[in-house]
Amino acid sequence: MQIAMSGKSIEIINTDAEGRLLLADGLHYAKQLGCTHLVDAATLTGAVVVALGYANAGIFANDEDMYERIHKANENAGEKMWRLPLDDEYKENIKSSIADIVNSGGRWGGAINAAMFLKEFAEDTPWIHLDIAGTAWMEEQKPWIAKGPSGIALRSLIEFVKGFTN
């Protein structure tokens, strides 16, 4: 078991799911610093590749306005991302009998389970999670993305931030 920066206890059932522990503390720390909107991007799960392949990154959001902003930014930037759900039913997958939550919800819905874990730390703060595991490195050139390190999400995030100035 581990205690996160937020004070939540985490049952470690998958030692290969360590990245989300760091992100959880990062989200909590950002809120402590006064951040009113949160965005994280990570090559978090192979499960997002199973769900979306190598064409789209996964988007998760706990706030509709934030999602609409990132969706518009994606369209303006020409990057391919697809929204995946964060329905309450998935919260069951990260319940623990000995801690507040588990760090991995199992095989089925793996990318969603990872995002549900992070959502526990974003809480009510408007938040976007980008799982870019399938698109961070491209084996071949595509019309919308370069071969090699793709820089996926960079153009969208620039458009997203510019949207706050309008």
Distance CA 20, CA 18 (A): 6
Distance CA 14, CA 148 (A): 29
Integer angstrom CA distances of residue 1 from 40, 70, 98, 101, 102:
24, 35, 9, 10, 9
Give me the percent of the chain exceeding a pLDDT of 70: 99
CATH class held by domain 36-93+108-163 = alpha beta
- Considering the entire predicted model, what is its pTM? 0.93
Q: Find, among 38, 16, 52, the residue nearest to 119 by Cα.
A: 38
153: left (phi over 0), alpha (psi -120 to 50) or beta: left
Per residue in 42-98, pLDDT tens? Answer: 999 999 999 999 999 999 999 999 999 999 999 999 999 999 999 999 999 999 999
